[in-house]
Chains A and B, each alone.
Chain A
Amino acid sequence: MNATPYLTPQQIIDRFSARFGNGLTEAKVTERGEGTRKVKAYNLWFRIDREQLRPAIEELIAIRFPHLAVIAGNDLGTDIELLYIFSVFYGQKFGEYMVTIAIRLPKSDLTVPTITDLIPGALFSEREKQEFFGITVTGIPDGRRLFLPEDFPKGVYPWRKDETGIPPEMIKNLWEVDRPKDRPVPPIPEKAPAPEGKKEGGESP
């Protein structure tokens, strides 16, 4: 399982560019160091065409079997962008990278092939994207709703920012419930200046 060699971030980018060429629209590395020694941690970001999704994931599996963290999504107006966030080379001290593979789906054709045959753990994430963005994952073994209740109106996709998002009538302001409307809001009293010395924590009954 660990027979594949360890690669640097630039080597991974080169491998992807070599394989996908023009299909790879963007590739970059960001890094961050924390603590006193500022040991660096690297994130790789790839943006590829939709058709190259499964070959890209297979390429990543060939590098080393990744761990799928989650599938995130963005609503970009005319497209929906899906980000498959992986992490590779776990087990290597200070050497894990986060690899994000992002694809764009035009809103006119919101289908994407499933990856559960390569990575069965992606099932939950794909079901969640189906119900929250309204995309269709072709070939998914179990396409039921995951988090939203069954009687949630169809056609309403909570994370979209266009007209299929949550309409204002569905939002309930809990703090307003039962608030009396026939009198004005009481004025906020002026804050008294703090007394000299440490203030004792009050005993609340």
Chain B
Amino acid sequence: MSLSQQVSSDRQLARLLQIGIVLEEVVEARAHRHYQSLSDDERVLDPEIEALLSHAADESAEHRKRLEALIEDLSVDSIPFDEIETLVEARYGQTKPEDFDGVLYDQLCNEETAYKFYDDLIEAIEASDAEFSVDREQLLEVLRTLRSEERDGAEEVTKIMEKRE
């Protein structure tokens, strides 16, 4: 055991970006599952939630692509993600939210967790003086965009939750 430093190498950065991809994968899988679990009647009754979940799944897929592009530019061996996708999908294949409140609460947790992850990662990169094989400013710009979209997503869910109270 030793005291860990901030982000200091391509390998460590790539690993953190991979964790970001898995988190996005989890968000996407859960949003998709929740969306599928809404019955036809419910979808008619609640287009707002349908739109929210559909948007969340699309946004997570987009975030994953942006993270994958960053990893490709780093000097590390890439790891295939098919297995992770299968694993996450299998994990959520069984679960169903109990009601709308459960769906929204879960979605809020997803967005907030992803926001926290990007926020910590940005802070760690800013605190590090390591040289990465990707442009630091470009890297931070991508991560700040993702963080901002997660914050917007959390606010969106919160608004809907408040309206429903």
Partners in one complex: no
Point out residues on B near A: beta carbons under 8 Å.
Answer: none
Point out residues on A near B: beta carbons under 8 Å.
Answer: none
